[in-house]
Amino acid sequence: MLGTRLILKTLLKQNLILTVTCVRLLQNNSEVRVRFAPSPTGFLHLGGLRTALYNFLFARSKGGTFILRIEDTDQTRLVEGAVEQLHRDLEWAGIVPDEGPMTGGQSGPYLQSQRLALYKSSADKLLENGAAYYCFCTQHRLELLRKDALRRRQVPRYDNRCRNLTKEEIQEKLTLGVERCVRLKLIPGCETFHDLVYGDITHDVVASEGGDPVILKTDGYPTYHLANVVDDHYMRVSHVLRGVEWQSSTPKHIMLYKGFGWQPPVFAHLPLLLNSDGTKLSKRQGDVTVKYYQSSGVFPRALVNFVTFSGGGFHRDNSDQVRSLDMNQLASEFDVSLIGVASCRVSLERLDDFNHAELVRRMGNETEMADLVAKFRAMVVETHKNRLESLDLDENYIRSVLVWSQKRVSRLSQLVQAQFSYLWVRPPPTPVDCKQAELLSMACDRLQEAVDFSQKPLADLLRSLAKDSNVKVKDIMHLLRLVLCGCKEGPAVAEMLEMLGRQTSLSRLQATLLYHQQSQAHNSTQTT
């Protein structure tokens, strides 16, 4: 009988949680408001980008509002310029806030350091409601508690001493101006909430916390927990999508909501993104920041689609398919209920596949192709700015090289690396003797007549030329490579010809022939 009652009690509790969650969802359907709330303590990395992106897509899929809020209450860890860089990174990725520090809005200010008066008045409300209390313990006493716990091999925790002070004792200390902070009164027992990703979550806050937590510090700055709850309430945030590392703090946040008498938002926690070795992504890793990928030639849409590749959350026929979708397409496929619960390792080697897909997509759009040509021309000029007079920068030539390269490179930046410099820098005319000049002239004639200017037919053409001229294949290849790129080693000559194209290849061969003719004429004049 006792077992039956326990089962019924558990079922009723679960049904109540689900009912409350459904009611909240219905209430929030009319106005979905989500936020991305990073700390300006470093560059935006892939994990932060994924959190921002999923909030943005959720808002777009529901016709809602995406808010950018900067949580800068920990003044000791601020990085100068991080807020501006964060905003640039998001805009580069196509994640444009509807409200935020740069865009404004009706729920500002959007920097927590500018909302201190609100946190102070909110803490006062908790004190009035009996949900919080003043703590007058000195740092010296707290340090003694910590050392004593460590000596006894226990986890350090605050003993909640000031929670039991009488009204008279509290007033006396306030009158004397004793330094104080404000602590939240934790409620014993397990707090259960429904997570849209992980389902029902039960957590015993008192057991896991090191005593009642500080919510307003002695310097007047709030801790994350108070500021987070107050801002979400006053910014009318309906859904909180954040990293799973904050899941254990959610029951504490719900206690704060109860202390205020406010309705909490709906929560959804996102699983961790891990490095390929299983370690957590970090802001200190320079090679996982948005700025790094931007500077290394990764397209915004490629990085965004790559981020969606790990962890689920989308309606798609093949989760392993490399795609290049825009924000509207991604928003139409996004579904919180499809997000997986397991931490997922980021396969960075796949990023080039996504970048290649975006490169091909852009080349198929005339407007974007023209933009690619212009941007790539600027890249070539910047790379070879000391040899501007020797550059081949004809628009049609750049187009032909880009089209040729789409099956061979994944980033445009690869085409300005040293091994491809011959594509853009014309070598000076090569001194040749009369026999070599005759061979080059024959090569020009055959290249001009070639029907198929691709690698294999060109290789056959050169072998045929060597045979007809009674010259070793390696000798003619050596000569052509020297004339075409000015180097003795490099890619196969037939491949080089294909990359340069008919017009540029003939132009370089003919430049050497003209130089030879002029040299011959000069020598003849000197002899006379």
Find the catalytic residue in 9, 62, 185, 283: 283
Q: Residue by residue, what is the 3-state secondary structure of 294-341? A: HHCCCCHHHHHHHHCCCCEEECCCCCCCCCCCCHHHHHHHEEEEEECC
Measure the CA–CA gap between 440 and 438, rounded to whole angstroms: 5
* Contact of 293 with 47, CB cutoff 8 Å: no
> Coil, strand or helix: which one is 64?
coil
Of 119, 127, 77, 138, the closest CA to residue 222 belongs to 119
Of 423, 345, 424, the closest CA to residue 388 belongs to 424
> Coil, strand or helix: which one is 259?
helix
Amino acid at 432: V
Which two tokens mark 212? 């009642």
> Coil, strand or helix: which one is 65?
strand
Q: What single-letter DSSP state applies at residue 450? A: -
* Contact of 99 with 296, CB cutoff 8 Å: no
Q: Phi/psi zone of residue 63: left (φ > 0), alpha (ψ -120 to 50 degrees), beta?
A: left
Measure the CA–CA gap between 301 and 303, rounded to whole angstroms: 5
Strand (E) or helix (H) holding 273: strand 273-274
Residue 405: CB atoms within 10 A of its CB come to 19
Answer yes or no: 456 catalytic.
no
CA atoms within 13 A on the CB side of 72: 21
Amino acid at 523: N
Query: How large is the angle between the packed helices 250-260 and 224-234, nearest 10 degrees?
Result: 60
* Contact of 72 with 39, CB cutoff 8 Å: yes
Of 53, 54, 61, 66, the closest CA to residue 97 belongs to 66
| Cα torsion angle, 391, 397, 399, 401, sign | negative
Q: Give the residue numbers marked as catalytic.
A: 283
